[in-house]
A = this chain, B = another copy of it.
Amino acid sequence: MEHKSSDKHGLLLPGGGPLYRQLAATLQHQLEGGHYGANEPLPAERDLAASFRVSRDTVRKAIRLLEEQGVVYSDHGRGTFVAPESVRQMSRFLDSFTDDAHRRGGVPGQQILLLEPAVATMALASLLQTEPDAALVRLRRLRLLNGVPVGLQDSYLRLPPGATIVRRELEAKGSLYRLLIEDLGVRPCECLESLCAVAAQPDEAALLKVAAGSPLLACERVTLSDRRQPIEYCEMRYVPSYRYKTRVNKWSLG
């Protein structure tokens, strides 16, 4: 059940959940609806609190949320402002390839090259923090964007005991992460990535339809569950036209 089933604050349409999330969603809707232009100020926190009949702290939590996503930014003593479009569109999620493609307005596709049991090597065992020879599942896929091959993904998964991945269901859902969440109760929560450039190996080149030795973007990823247990190690290769976008926020110096 949700936090408050009925809404004592009539102004917040979006269904259940914490008040500050509802408020953040409402505000974001207003911004996307074009009620405000870039760098325009929002109403003051105290005013928002009054007009939505919530405490100022709840307003601040909602604004914090939007700020983390790059939707707004606050300046001490001046106000809170709408972030420029360019920033708003680059909030960095732990997105599946499928969702990312949709956000970019493309049509995602995939071709499953391999789906089979595997045993952990020493290296994999170390990355996934399991014993060597633990049972894993290997999943190798070719990813397509608008029908054109753009990437190769080679995953090693550590599933809950007894769980399996059914090829047909994966093909139906299109997204591995959706399948993990919805069918296996595994919730990816954050991941660590390391990127560099490599030369295409012959087999990679053939699948991606590029010349052997041509440059590819290589990305290694360890995905962690909400309890910080590694659940996936994935090696990826992307063609040069595929752009990996990220937003680095906060500043570490004083």
Contacts and interface: CB of A to CB of B under 8 A. Distances in A.
Interface string A180-199: 01000001111111111111
A238 interface: yes
A5 interface: no
Contacts of A226: 75
In the complex this chain forms, how many copies of it are found?
2
A160 interface: no
Contacts of A86: 192, 222
Interface string A198-221: 110000000000000111111000
Interface residues of A, number: 59
A243 B197 CA distance: 9
Nearest to A81: B228
A63 B217 CA distance: 36
Interface in A28-77: 39, 70, 73, 75
Contacts of A81: 228
Given A190-B251, A193-B245, A193-B247, 8 more contacts: A84-B228, A92-B248, A94-B250, A178-B253, A190-B247, A194-B243, A196-B244, A198-B215
11 contacts: A84-B228, A99-B253, A190-B251, A192-B245, A193-B246, A193-B247, A194-B244, A195-B243, A196-B217, A197-B215, A197-B218
